[in-house]
Structure 1
Amino acid sequence: MFPRSALKILGSLLAGLALAAHAEDYPKRQIEFVVPYAPGGSTDAFVRVLAPKLAEQLKTPVVIVNRPGAAAVIGSSYALATTDGYRIFAAGPSNMGTALIVGPKPPYSVEDVAPIAQVLMNQMVLVSKNGRFASFDAFLKEAREKPDTVTIGSWGLRSLSHFYVEQLQQALNIKVRHIPYDSGSKEMVAAMGGEVDAAVVTAAAARTNINGGTVSGLFVSTEQKLADLPGVESIKTLGYPGAVAFSFEGIATSAKVPAERIAILRQAFDKILSDPQTVAAIRATGSEPAYLPGPQYGQQIRSNLATLQQIASRVKMDD
């Protein structure tokens, strides 16, 4: 009879051989990297950084497929329709967050998804037309003294920015009018022109316009200031830790993909996202690299879902 320790070693060796055998036949054809948004946005930008690097790592073609619509549900559903590991997709706070809580129920749940890696984090900034508010205190004073009068734009009904408007109302003890737009670019134009009094935008979108002098930043949704927005105070420093929030983006695939193929994808992205050149390239798109391995990214998704569910339980998210 073999000693128990020897059996454990033998078992590990056999498992390794099995993984190697599966690895030999994957991937052997093109992988689709699905972006559930139109070309040109921040998600599309980081995917275009990563796709050629993944092709190099796995020595197989990687093609980007843009499938926008329905708060990123259309593209996500398309990616999850196959279970062989040849479709991966950008997974963030819309398709892995707000879409699972409000609005039409998507044909998938968080249990159907295998997180591969978190890629970046993005903070949110409340901006306004230059001169509209002299300071955050001026905004807060007007919002409290004139309930349902101050307007705040978001990049979409039931979007993460809409949830943040609701979070702000609770944390700041204010009542504002929410004005949804169908894209971040339209929302920013509305803020620049004074069509809305303020707008919740990503830090990536805010940087260019604040530094260019077209809008003012009232605060950033962080615990500390951002290095590249030194003139914009953090909401925690202003005394409202309950309004701290962030956005994230990552990569996922179907949970039904064989475990050894998920492991291969995770290993590939671990190498890619640990490379300083990749980090610099992502930062150049305007987002902040923040790599997390797949299991930790899964925890991030679930934690964010719990926060969004708390917000949605207190308010009506249909307008």
Structure 2
Amino acid sequence: MHRRTLIKHMAALTLAPLAATAARISIAREGPLRVIVPFPPGGGTDVLGRVIAATLGDSLERSVIVENKPGASGMLGADYTANGAKDGSILLFAGLVPSVRYYARPAEEVLKQLAPVCPIARSPYMVAVNGDLPARTLGELVAQARGAPKSLTFGSPGNATPQHLATELLQAACGIDMLHVPYRGTGPMMTDLLGGQIQVVVATVAAVEPYLKSGRLRVLAVTSQERLARYPDIPTVAESGFPGFVAQIQFGTYCAAGTPEAAIAALNQGINHALQTDAVHAKLAEQGFQPTGGTPAQLRDALLAEIRDVAGLVQADKVRVDL
């Protein structure tokens, strides 16, 4: 696959088959399962976490509570989970790399703090601009950005978030240099895009879709390998003149390192079962997500590979990691 693909190591993941008897998974149920979302309500991670949590409780025969713990580009939620109970009662829903801290450290260090549980889903990005921007195509946006470096601003949900990394990779592919404006979550970022405080975002379908008919933003391209079935008129980045560019965000779940393997296995089985239900499939599809599922080992391998791949951006000073 092309090296400019942001997240490329989990494309082969498929949902693990589960027997009908696994509809309810038996694990210790002393108190609720707390699902930690390290970003504010309304973003892709939050939407995904709540969709899965609604069905996961039934699979585990256990109450599930979703808690938003935003801050520091996901670090606060990741640290809360890593320092929490090691009994499977706290489950972090996050991007493939749950904390920006790990980009500046040896790849294996994340495994000393967080235990991979299950891959969840993936989604392509949309390259969207404020509706008042003259650009009608990605090529026109690139021409404008090349003509006046740093004159355009792009937003992200936070420094070193997957959306930030995807935009930096897009800039490298297009040969442009826009000014980065990090936010504390997707909601504030989209608000400022609509208001014209920033001009460009590379965001998930779930983040962009609610505003597509408003006329206040315009989608120039999608970062998937092929056009999205729901939006056949929106070209891919590759079709727009930048062959080989593909980027997608991946989501996974984690517990504190040291959590017993039996607890992780039970959570993994419960999550995979939830991902196979028609209700979850339909809701994820509505938000532009493709369920993946899989094993802890598959999530671990993809996590380590992604950290190593992004190290080049950190070394090139395109992404700042505040430890």
Scaled to the shorter chain, the TM-score interval is 0.7 to 0.9
- Partner in structure 2 of residue 248 of structure 1: 250
- 2:53 is aligned, of 30, 46, 51, to 51
- 1:173 is aligned, of 165, 171, 175, to 175
Give the 5 Å matches for 1:1-319: 26-81=28-83, 82-93=85-96, 95-96=98-99, 98-101=100-103, 109-132=110-133, 133-241=135-243, 243-318=245-320
Conserved 8 A contact 2:39-2:184: no
Quote how far apart the aligned CAs of 1:256 are: 0.9
- Partner in structure 2 of residue 13 of structure 1: none
CA distance in 2, matches of 1:202, 1:43: 10
The one-letter code of the counterpart of 2:102 is L
Conserved 8 A contact 1:83-1:257: yes
Deviation readout 1:213-267 (Å, 9 max, x if unpaired): 3211111112111122222211122242454211121212123111122111112
Conserved 8 A contact 2:39-2:46: yes
Radius of gyration: which is bigger?
1
Instruction: Classify the secondary structure of the residue corresponding to 1:124.
Output: strand
Deviation readout 1:27-66 (Å, 9 max, x if unpaired): 3443222222233333222222222422222222222232
Instruction: Classify the secondary structure of the residue corresponding to 1:292.
Output: coil
Q: Structure 1: where are the runs of 5+ without partners? A: 1-22
Conserved 8 A contact 1:165-1:178: no
Determine which structure has the larger helix proportion and give its number: 1
Conserved 8 A contact 1:71-1:95: no
Quote how far apart the aligned CAs of 1:123 are: 1.8
> CA 1:57–1:191 in structure 2 vs 1: closer, same or farther (change >3 Å)?
closer
Higher relative contact order (CA 8 A, sep 6+): 2
Conserved 8 A contact 1:79-1:253: yes
The percent of aligned pairs where both chains have the same amino acid is 25
Name which of structure 1's ranges 40-49 and 304-313 shifts more when overlaid on structure 2.
40-49
Instruction: Classify the secondary structure of the residue corresponding to 1:205.
Output: helix
Question: How many residues are paired up?
Answer: 293
Q: Structure 2: where are the runs of 5+ without partners? A: 1-24
TM-score, with length taken from structure 2: 0.80
The one-letter code of the counterpart of 1:248 is Q
The two structures, once aligned, show a CA RMSD in angstroms of 2.6
